[in-house]
A and B are shown apart, each in its own frame.
Chain A
Amino acid sequence: MWTRKASILGAGGVSLVLVGMMMSNFQMMVFGVAFVAFLAVNSWITGHGDIQVVRTLSADNLYKGDDLYVELEITNPSWRRTQQLEIYDNVPHEMKLRSGLNYMRVNLGPGETTRVRYVLRCPLRGHYSIGPISIRYRDSFNLFSQEMYVDHRSDLIVFPQVREIEEAMVRSRTPKMYTGATTLRTPGPGTEFFSLREYVPGDPFKIINWKAFARTGQLIVNEKCRDAVTDVFILVDSRDISRIGTVLKNPLEVGTVAAASLASYFIKRRDSVALAVYDERLSFLPPDTGDKQYFKILSSLAGVAPKGAMPLQAVTNALSSRFSRGSPVFIISALEGDGTTIPAIRDLAGRGHEVIILSPSSVDFERLVSRIPRTSYEVLKLERQNRLTALAGFGARVIDWMPDVELSQALLQVKMG
């Protein structure tokens, strides 16, 4: 494609020739011919974009706020010089360049290789894709430029941050409502010792109690208790209303952090964790434990986006058959704009679930972005307080989570009705 400069030069050249003819002026004609000749000669060396690009990322998954190291290896495999080549790696605009640059101007000779290295910071959770690589090649005199792209993409997931909440959970009254991985007095694959018994063929060697063997001369094996796993249900409110506040500070954002942290805590305790995210519909991850489940939960939380207005009662109704009897249910919601909150929680509590409501104070998040008149703010807060008190009245444990309060701190304050 001709650049503006080339177009002006070309049109100017032809115009000079014509005007030169009109005025019988040789200089103009020679100028004109020279201009056009300049274009013609340069059209021989316009360059090319047939390059090989390999992108390497320092990680495929990372936590929100972490740094990502990116390297692009660019090789010109052809026999021609690329001429002036601009290489630009398309980085999602939600990521911040921390050092280096995702852009470079090169002029690669045949077979030459170069590297572009840069570091990105990912302040927002989500599923992202880096790439494609945009390429623009032009001649040295900027007369002809051509754009193309190498469709090479690298996907990555930015998980919500996971906060350390163990201490808070131990100190607060909340975790004591259930026991986590309790030991049942029945043998099975577990972690705690149950009894000794004689070895029977088929027992794995690693459970043989060598000390007892040394003492008795008989093969004795350790038998362990079967871990009884508690199912913990985490319900995350991802309705449109949960985006109140700023991009980085809003009920949904802090909610995902809370959900991830809780999941991490319980899975570490080998509890089964189920995740339900409700926005315009319900996404449910059945209870399970282990790293795989942990990854699933984080991945799912990375992708949540505020949308829809599904009522909480619809969620609890839909899940009622899936809730394990007596299992604790964490509801992470600002509790705004949903008339079904109270009946839904009343029902849950009525069915014997321990309901813990972690409620980011949306009014205070809203204050971060808009100037709420003092009186209105106070009234809104009073109304919210009424709502929380009512919920506590049904036996739910309610945490009013202010924006500037750390999750671990928030968990310590259980509001009772």
Chain B
Amino acid sequence: MAVPSISGVGNWLSSATGKRMIALTLFYLTLGLLFSTVAGTYITRSEVHQSAYGEDWNDMSAFRADIKNQGITTTSIVSSPLLLEEIQSPRDTVFVVSGIERDTISLPRFSADSSVIQLVEGLGYSTSEIEAISSFVERGGTIVVLDDFGYAQGLADEFGLGYSGHQLYDTQTWDPDLDFNYVWLNITNGFNYSSSSGSRTNTNPCIADQDSDGTPDFLEGIVVPTTEELGLCSHRWDSINANYNMNPGYDLLLNQPSAFDKGQAGENADDNLYPIGFSTQDAYLDTNNDGKLTVGFSGTEAGSDEQGPFAMYVKYCRSRNCDNPDSGRAYFVTDGSLLVNSIYDTEGVESGVYGEFNKTPDINDNRRWALDLIAEALMSNDGNASISPDAQVIFDESRHQQPSFMGDTYNLLYYILIYFTNDWMAMLLMFLGLFVLFEFIIIKKLDPEPWRHVFSIIYYGYGDSRRYEYYGRANKIKQILLTRVRNVNSLTREEFDALPARDLQKMVNDPVLIKFIFEDRRYSMEEIIAVIKRIKTWGRR
């Protein structure tokens, strides 16, 4: 094989092809760099956890398995919650967001407010996504948002909540058997929505007891219920003791929780936002982020941590006091690991299902709480315990780190596609793109012309029309006449020039032509024609 010489390479580089190739390579490199930069903001490698599909101690497989065992369909969203808009029966759907681990990429968008163009998107989810989730709740869907220091802020804002983003240390309810990161959230009655509402246990079908006989309505008259009869409330049935748990309170175990901002989680019945779970008074938010508990005077002192109590579990209902079972609900808890296997499934931890785990969490009500809310959303509260065949629980996996780069790429591709087919701004751009593409094709893409032999002899008709006028002038005619006279008489130019006028007149011997030769005046067309005729006949005489 011939080795290209340096001069050959140089020649190629300076050639048109070479330049084009270099320009193309640079263009694609830049494009690739740009794309990888954008994609890089989305695909960031970190620890994989809080996935409903992971089997690790910090994943939520046990929760998902429980739901599946109850006969509910579980689904995932791997691209974007924009898909919630496609859900046909939101009333039978629960959307679970556990830990929003990464931000989103999106286009600037138009908004109705004064800023018109909104360049900075909300945290975690894009505005369109937040709108989709909010609309889902409006249409009767239930969402569960479990997050601590992640990107749930944008979504929480939509519901009037503010995540503080700092870790909470509770000096009273931390679990001494584990460590200070584990905090108990004790709720006496999970259905006591506001100070004026009283206990609203009837809103949950598992503990709804209209006649207050200690038996839930849907089990009225049933002594030992079957699994089918228990519906989605089987977790409250103790089959060994044949006892049904009617406790409306929960002792939730949290791991490294955060809390809501004090100003933004207050009880406000007008917003239908009900803070239900609070930390104790001796709880502190690590507002200075030093990883330590710094006690100051009422938390107002500079550099000290803020003191509780803080709301940590807030429930939002579309209907006042969650009275309408078909209306949408949203559950916000300031701990992303509330339902992780290690806390949710203490038995499983003990039996080593989730591998070596050096701590054994105490028995808690996290499972009961979670399954209660699933029952509240998906089971009818009319005493029949009926479940819609469309009932499903959707886990948002779009904001979770995937176990492989390929998985992340797959999700990103879906995200882009779904974003461009659901977000108005992106759709507009795409329409524009498609329009331009079609225009381009219609204008630029031309089929080759059909071949056809055309017989064409190039017409090079040639003539100097400018001289025609010149040849019509009297002087030119005069000159031609004289040349003719000279030729006929076989005179040289010199001889002819030296000829006296009388001799010339003799030679011509035509009074009209003689007059024409000697008289210098303007001639009419008719006169010129007459003269020409005479000249023509003159030579023949």
Residues on A facing B (Cβ under 8 Å): 2-5, 7-8, 11, 15, 18-19, 21-22, 24, 86, 88, 91, 93-97, 101-103, 123-124, 134, 136, 145, 147, 243-248, 250, 366, 368-370, 372-376, 378-380, 382-383, 385-386, 389-390, 393, 417
From A102, A244, A389, B463 is in contact (CB under 8 Å) with A244
Q: Report the separation of the CA atoms of residues A199 and B505 in the bound assembly, to the nearest whole angstrom.
A: 77
Residues on B facing A (Cβ under 8 Å): 86, 417-418, 420-422, 427, 430, 434, 437-438, 441-442, 445-448, 451-463, 465, 467-469, 471-472, 476-477, 480, 483-484, 487-488, 490, 525, 528-529, 532, 535-536, 539
B421 and A393 contacting across the interface, CB-CB below 8 Å: no
Q: Report the separation of the CA atoms of residues A91 and B471 in the bound assembly, to the nearest whole angstrom.
A: 44
**Extra inter-chain contacts (13) besides given A7-B441, A378-B536, A393-B490, CB under 8 Å:** A8-B441, A15-B437, A91-B453, A147-B448, A245-B461, A246-B461, A368-B461, A372-B468, A375-B471, A376-B467, A382-B480, A382-B536, A390-B487
Chain B contact residues, majority secondary structure: helix
B427 and A22 contacting across the interface, CB-CB below 8 Å: yes
Closest A residue by C-beta to B481: A382
Contacts A376-B471, A383-B480; is A21 near B417 (CB within 8 Å)? yes
Interchain Cβ contacts under 8 Å between A and B, 14 examples: A7-B441, A21-B421, A24-B86, A147-B448, A243-B460, A247-B457, A370-B461, A375-B472, A379-B480, A379-B532, A382-B532, A385-B539, A390-B483, A417-B487
B459 and A247 contacting across the interface, CB-CB below 8 Å: yes
A11 and B453 contacting across the interface, CB-CB below 8 Å: no
Q: Which A-B residue pairs are the 5 nearest by beta carbons?
A: A369-B461, A370-B463, A21-B421, A88-B451, A376-B471
Contacts A375-B525, A375-B528, A379-B476; is A386 near B484 (CB within 8 Å)? yes
B468 and A145 contacting across the interface, CB-CB below 8 Å: no
Closest B residue by C-beta to A378: B532
Tell me how far the C-beta of B18 lies from the nearest C-beta in chain A, rounded to whole angstroms: 24
Chain A contact residues, majority secondary structure: mixed
From B420, B438, B487, A389 is in contact (CB under 8 Å) with B487
B457 and A376 contacting across the interface, CB-CB below 8 Å: no
B-chain residues with CB within 8 Å of residue A390 when the two chains form the complex? 483, 487
Tell me how far the C-beta of B478 lies from the nearest C-beta in chain A, rounded to whole angstroms: 11
Q: Report the separation of the CA atoms of residues A380 and B470 in the bound assembly, to the nearest whole angstrom.
A: 10
A-chain residues with CB within 8 Å of residue B480 when the two chains form the complex? 379, 382-383, 386
A18 and B420 contacting across the interface, CB-CB below 8 Å: yes
B421 and A372 contacting across the interface, CB-CB below 8 Å: no
Tell me how far the C-beta of B493 lies from the nearest C-beta in chain A, rounded to whole angstroms: 11
A97 and B465 contacting across the interface, CB-CB below 8 Å: no
A-chain residues with CB within 8 Å of residue B452 when the two chains form the complex? 103
A97 and B455 contacting across the interface, CB-CB below 8 Å: yes
B477 and A11 contacting across the interface, CB-CB below 8 Å: no
Q: Report the separation of the CA atoms of residues A7 and B437 in the bound assembly, to the nearest whole angstrom.
A: 10
From B438, B446, B454, A93 is in contact (CB under 8 Å) with B454
Closest B residue by C-beta to A3: B447
Q: Report the separation of the CA atoms of residues A386 and B481 in the bound assembly, to the nearest whole angstrom.
A: 9
Q: Report the separation of the CA atoms of residues A382 and B465 in the bound assembly, to the nearest whole angstrom.
A: 17
Number of A-B contacts (CB under 8 A): 134
From B86, B438, B458, B525, A11 is in contact (CB under 8 Å) with B438
From A95, A134, A379, B471 is in contact (CB under 8 Å) with A379
Contacts A376-B468, A389-B487, A390-B487; is A145 near B458 (CB within 8 Å)? no
Q: Report the separation of the CA atoms of residues A376 and B437 in the bound assembly, to the nearest whole angstrom.
A: 62
Q: Report the separation of the CA atoms of residues A390 and B539 in the bound assembly, to the nearest whole angstrom.
A: 13
Tell me how far the C-beta of B520 lies from the nearest C-beta in chain A, rounded to whole angstroms: 18
Tell me how far the C-beta of A11 lies from the nearest C-beta in chain B, rounded to whole angstroms: 5
Q: Report the separation of the CA atoms of residues A285 and B452 in the bound assembly, to the nearest whole angstrom.
A: 40
Q: Report the separation of the CA atoms of residues A376 and B466 in the bound assembly, to the nearest whole angstrom.
A: 11
Tell me how far the C-beta of B429 lies from the nearest C-beta in chain A, rounded to whole angstroms: 12
Tell me how far the C-beta of A410 lies from the nearest C-beta in chain B, rounded to whole angstroms: 21
A-chain residues with CB within 8 Å of residue B422 when the two chains form the complex? 22
Contacts A93-B454, A379-B472; is A7 near B525 (CB within 8 Å)? no
A11 and B434 contacting across the interface, CB-CB below 8 Å: yes
From B417, B457, B488, A94 is in contact (CB under 8 Å) with B457
From B442, B455, B487, B529, A96 is in contact (CB under 8 Å) with B455
B437 and A93 contacting across the interface, CB-CB below 8 Å: no
A366 and B455 contacting across the interface, CB-CB below 8 Å: no
A-chain residues with CB within 8 Å of residue B487 when the two chains form the complex? 386, 389-390, 393, 417
B-chain residues with CB within 8 Å of residue A19 when the two chains form the complex? 434
A-chain residues with CB within 8 Å of residue B536 when the two chains form the complex? 378, 382
Closest B residue by C-beta to A96: B455
Q: Report the separation of the CA atoms of residues A379 and B427 in the bound assembly, to the nearest whole angstrom.
A: 80
B445 and A376 contacting across the interface, CB-CB below 8 Å: no
B-chain residues with CB within 8 Å of residue A373 when the two chains form the complex? 468, 472
Closest A residue by C-beta to B456: A93
Tell me how far the C-beta of B99 lies from the nearest C-beta in chain A, rounded to whole angstroms: 28
B434 and A18 contacting across the interface, CB-CB below 8 Å: yes
Q: Report the separation of the CA atoms of residues A298 and B148 in the bound assembly, to the nearest whole angstrom.
A: 100
B-chain residues with CB within 8 Å of residue A15 when the two chains form the complex? 434, 437-438
Tell me how far the C-beta of A209 lies from the nearest C-beta in chain B, rounded to whole angstroms: 58
From A101, A124, A382, B484 is in contact (CB under 8 Å) with A382
A93 and B455 contacting across the interface, CB-CB below 8 Å: yes
B430 and A18 contacting across the interface, CB-CB below 8 Å: yes
Closest B residue by C-beta to A366: B463
Closest A residue by C-beta to B488: A389
Tell me how far the C-beta of A86 lies from the nearest C-beta in chain B, rounded to whole angstroms: 7
Q: Report the separation of the CA atoms of residues A73 and B328 in the bound assembly, to the nearest whole angstrom.
A: 79
Q: Report the separation of the CA atoms of residues A95 and B455 in the bound assembly, to the nearest whole angstrom.
A: 6
Closest A residue by C-beta to B459: A247
Closest B residue by C-beta to A242: B462
Q: Report the separation of the CA atoms of residues A25 and B487 in the bound assembly, to the nearest whole angstrom.
A: 98
From A97, A366, A389, B453 is in contact (CB under 8 Å) with A97
Q: Report the separation of the CA atoms of residues A136 and B447 in the bound assembly, to the nearest whole angstrom.
A: 12
Q: Report the separation of the CA atoms of residues A324 and B165 in the bound assembly, to the nearest whole angstrom.
A: 116
A380 and B471 contacting across the interface, CB-CB below 8 Å: yes
Q: Report the separation of the CA atoms of residues A367 and B511 in the bound assembly, to the nearest whole angstrom.
A: 33
Closest A residue by C-beta to B533: A378
Q: Report the separation of the CA atoms of residues A380 and B464 in the bound assembly, to the nearest whole angstrom.
A: 12
A-chain residues with CB within 8 Å of residue B430 when the two chains form the complex? 18
Tell me how far the C-beta of B259 lies from the nearest C-beta in chain A, rounded to whole angstroms: 40
A-chain residues with CB within 8 Å of residue B446 when the two chains form the complex? 4
A244 and B448 contacting across the interface, CB-CB below 8 Å: no
Contacts A22-B422, A93-B456, A386-B487; is A372 near B448 (CB within 8 Å)? no
Tell me how far the C-beta of B319 lies from the nearest C-beta in chain A, rounded to whole angstroms: 29
A-chain residues with CB within 8 Å of residue B456 when the two chains form the complex? 93-94
Tell me how far the C-beta of B236 lies from the nearest C-beta in chain A, rounded to whole angstroms: 39
Q: Report the separation of the CA atoms of residues A95 and B453 in the bound assembly, to the nearest whole angstrom.
A: 9
Closest A residue by C-beta to B435: A15
A-chain residues with CB within 8 Å of residue B427 when the two chains form the complex? 22
B462 and A375 contacting across the interface, CB-CB below 8 Å: no
A145 and B448 contacting across the interface, CB-CB below 8 Å: yes
Closest B residue by C-beta to A386: B483
Q: Report the separation of the CA atoms of residues A375 and B524 in the bound assembly, to the nearest whole angstrom.
A: 12
Closest A residue by C-beta to B437: A11
A-chain residues with CB within 8 Å of residue B528 when the two chains form the complex? 375
B453 and A247 contacting across the interface, CB-CB below 8 Å: no
B-chain residues with CB within 8 Å of residue A101 when the two chains form the complex? 453
A102 and B421 contacting across the interface, CB-CB below 8 Å: no
Q: Report the separation of the CA atoms of residues A94 and B456 in the bound assembly, to the nearest whole angstrom.
A: 6
B-chain residues with CB within 8 Å of residue A250 when the two chains form the complex? 462
Tell me how far the C-beta of A205 lies from the nearest C-beta in chain B, rounded to whole angstroms: 55
Task: With a 10 A CB-CB cut-off, give which of B422, B441, B454 has the most chain A CB atoms.
Answer: B441
B421 and A18 contacting across the interface, CB-CB below 8 Å: yes
Task: With a 10 A CB-CB cut-off, give which of A24, A370, A386, A389 has the most chain B CB atoms.
Answer: A386
Tell me how far the C-beta of A5 lies from the nearest C-beta in chain B, rounded to whole angstroms: 8
Tell me how far the C-beta of B387 lies from the nearest C-beta in chain A, rounded to whole angstroms: 26
B-chain residues with CB within 8 Å of residue A379 when the two chains form the complex? 471-472, 476-477, 480, 532
A-chain residues with CB within 8 Å of residue B483 when the two chains form the complex? 383, 386, 390
A-chain residues with CB within 8 Å of residue B458 when the two chains form the complex? 247
Task: With a 10 A CB-CB cut-off, give which of B448, B462, B483 has the most chain A CB atoms.
Answer: B462
B-chain residues with CB within 8 Å of residue A383 when the two chains form the complex? 471, 480, 483
Q: Report the separation of the CA atoms of residues A161 and B463 in the bound assembly, to the nearest whole angstrom.
A: 25
